[in-house]
Structure 1
């Protein structure tokens, strides 16, 4: 049972020393009761009190980590229902499913497709992290061989999917490397929970729990925890998107608002619509509504981009704009002394948009990014984070004059008004470029610094 702030206060040193960063022990106790701080922040709490306060200081949604090799996927540890209240912390792992009944050619084709599901967007590599390995044959040896074949050619984190504990155990025994990793095994149900819990506890790997509704799911998690398996991921069982979304929302709400421990775990969901477009829409729904692992049936390359871009947008901290380093970037190859110099802000989306257009022009160029605290060009200019003085300092702090024979900089057309002052402040000649990045390729092909041919 969760403790009240006064219960917690009675167990604290009550010295009001301020070492935890709070003015009084009571203030710290109130924050601890609301799951806003960690007990570790109090350096003087006794071991006896730590044991008694373990329940109160535990996060409302436990962190569970699945991993393989260098791939590590932390799940859970979320603290809010809505992103604007703070931020969402651990983004969901997304992947597709493969069956052990696929022919050799089908499996090879799907693995090739699966390994190719990787994109670059605003400086981040976005891709699928997990792969569901579905046992449909009923043959333990066939499934174990199938798992081994996938592990040889695909580096994603495996989800071993079978409700037969013997088949799961055989797959682990025949693929010893998995015992050194942390794959997810799926799934413990009312019928097999004790055997599955034993496998998970013995191998110290996470276990997915599948129940027919939230009440059964809560009963199963308590039973499985008592059996020694503590790293759990919840599947509420519904396969239609409306009920699935409602269950995902209710699990998050019960964990965060009611501190209901049996549902205080990350969740997973399956997207399998009547066609590939419905499957994609279901997956996107679960990205927005709290699933920790999302598995698409027969994932396609064209599905990967929208669902992973949505995830990247949702799991970007709204309090911290994405930025790039404020420095000189070289775009293209074989820069000579007449290479153009462009200026923009260090807002990541602005920089990568500009860089993409410059690259498509095939004109080797330099881009100077000004530190505007992650604001776009017009926003930075309006808030005076992009002024002639700031831009001049950014230009003159570079070593560009050692690389080029001119002092001419191209600025965004939206801030043409500061061109004269920038020339005075920096000593550089200023050329006003296009207002939109899409105009850069044509502009750069016709451009030469100081009118040089």
Structure 2
């Protein structure tokens, strides 16, 4: 159980200077107790107080970094809330793909090529996967070390080393220690040896229990041995059991500040059908896995999962929006059509994609509507004819084209007359949905 606000207050300097961002030391103590402030914000706190308040000021879920150097660095944990709408989620779930050391050289190269190719551009965002999990299926330390080296030489993704054999783990770590891989896993049977190896190479360590009770016990033993850079695995594999354990761990760490569970959590998919596996992974990404290890590497299954993750880990308090300016799509000229939309990212990039598909160079002007969609902005009075005319004039679109035709979304046809009156331009009512732009453009501007 964490310290109360009053207990924390007793350790603070009681200057009420406000330099921490809140007016009084008592208010700062309450914020610390609630996990909404950091002890580092107080410039006058003593070293003795820092030591005494270390547990209270620590984040409820520790930040763990996997990867180093030129390889990808994946940050896990450091979450502070149960639900995104309470504040936001900070570190997206790491997506890892399993590679077994029993694959022949050709199959290994092909699988790594597939994994490295899992990059996507969607609605102006670049999606990538994060880690490769190398599993010691063979049980042979030399074979495992050889495969680990091949994987490390052929990917910049972060690494997870999966073996129950501490000797095999040490051989692998000798090769990739500079990459700071995640060591998986310390269990009730091998935690002493695995902890010693992880400490020696300063690598983060996954701790696995057969259930939550055993997990707590093993975590406490590993911490007592002096290693605190941990990722935890409750050991369950059935979807409903994993969901239950993930939720319980998150609740205990956030609500109760239960330190043995205050670490990022790793989950593994078990479904053999690719669609079922991605659905299983989606459950874990949603509730509350910090890291998911899966097998399916086909792009058509991975992209929806990455899109889902992206949507979960956007800040709900900050609308996703693009800059309000004139965008040139293709080799535009003075005869290119002009499209109007809002600066909500999804609206803009939907329009941009369809305009590109039409093969007709065009201008797009997203109006600043505070990142809201067309109908939402219109209903709020942010997407009216007078506002659009004002932005068109400010941006100087009339200097880029010789015509005076502008296309507006079909859903707001009602603003056409006002826009024409304010701007003097001929207003063309376009399709309601972005999907209709290609056909509309070919019919009107070819």
Q: Counterpart of 1:343 in 2: which secondary structure? A: strand
1:165-180 correspondence runs (5 A): 165-173=166-174, 175=175, 178-180=176-178
Q: Displacement, 1:6?
A: 1.1
Stretch of structure 1 that moved more, 21-30 or 95-104: 21-30
Could you tell me which runs of 5 or more consecutive residues in structure 2 were left unpaired when the two chains were aligned.
none
> Are 2:208 and 1:210 equivalent residues in the alignment?
yes
> Can you list the C-alpha shifts for 1:170-226, whole angstroms capped at 9, x where unaligned?
1122x2xx3223211111111221222122222222111111111111111121122
Q: Please give the alpha-carbon distance, in whole angstroms, between the structure 2 residues aligned to 1:126 and 1:360.
A: 21
Instruction: Name the SS for the 1:447 alignment partner.
Output: helix
Would you identify which runs of 4 or more consecutive aligned residues in structure 1 move more than 4 Å?
none
2:78 aligned partner:
77
Kindly state the Cα deviation for residue 40 of structure 1 after the two structures are TM-superposed.
1.9
1:117 corresponds to: 118
**Where do 5+ consecutive residues of structure 1 fail to align?**
none
1:133·1:158 contact (CA, 8 Å) conserved in 2?
yes
CA offsets 1:80-125 (integer angstroms, 9 cap, x no match): 2122222222110112101010122222222222222221122111
Please list the CA deviations of residues 123-142 of structure 1 after superposition, one character each: whole Å capped at 9, or x if unmatched: 11112211110111122221
- Matched residues in 2 for 1:95 and 1:325: separation? 33
1:14 paired with 2:14, answer yes
Number of aligned residues = 445
Matches of 1:417 and 1:427, distance apart in 2: 16
Q: 1:330 aligns with which of 314, 328, 331?
A: 328
Between the aligned partners of 2:179 and 2:387, the Cα distance in structure 1 is 50
Structure 1 residue 376 and structure 2 residue 376: aligned?
no
**Distance in 2, Cα, partners of 1:154 & 1:21:** 43
Deviation digits for residues 241-276 of structure 1, max 9, x if unmatched? Answer: 111111111111111111110110000000011422
Distance in 2 between residues matched to 1:21 and 1:427, nearest whole Å: 51
**3-state SS of the aligned residue for 1:77?**
coil
Query: What's the counterpart of residue 312 of structure 1?
Result: 310
Change (3 A) 1:181 1:374: same
What's the secondary structure of 2:147's corresponding residue?
Answer: helix
Aligned to 1:395: 392
Mapped to 2, the partners of 1:278 and 1:403 lie a distance apart of: 51
Alpha-carbon distance in 1 for matches of 2:147, 2:185? 18
Whole-angstrom CA distance in 2 between matches of 1:235 and 1:127: 24
Match of 1:53 in 2: 53
Structure 1 contact 129–157 (Cα < 8 Å) conserved: yes
CA distance, structure 1, for counterparts of residue 273 and residue 443 of structure 2: 48
| Distance across 1 between alignment mates of 2:438 and 2:411 | 17
Secondary structure of the corresponding residue to residue 91 of structure 1:
coil
Residue 291 of structure 1 corresponds to 289
Query: What SS does structure 2 have at the residue aligned with 1:146?
Result: helix
Counterpart Cα distance in 1 of 2:191 and 2:20: 42
**Alpha-carbon contact 1:98-1:298 (below 8 Å) kept:** no
8 Å contact kept, 2:2–2:256: no
Q: Equivalent residue of 1:220, what SS?
A: helix
Rounded to whole Å, the distance in 1 between the matches of 2:284 and 2:348 is 30
Separation of aligned partners in 2, 1:130 and 1:397: 46
Equivalent runs, 1:434-449 vs 2, <5 Å: 434-448=431-445
Distance in 2 of aligned mates of 1:405 and 1:319? 41
1:26 matched residue in structure 2: 26
Alignment of 1:24-173 (within 5 A): 24-68=24-68, 69=70, 71-173=72-174
Alignment match, 2:338: 341
Q: Which moved more, 1:194-203 or 1:129-138?
A: 194-203
Q: Distance in 2 between matches of 1:438 and 1:180?
A: 48
CA RMSD of aligned residues (A): 1.7
Please identify, of 250-259 and 424-433, the stretch whose mean Cα deviation from structure 2 is larger: 424-433
Cα distance in structure 1, aligned partners of 2:303 and 2:348:
20
**Alignment partner, residue 429 of structure 1:** 426
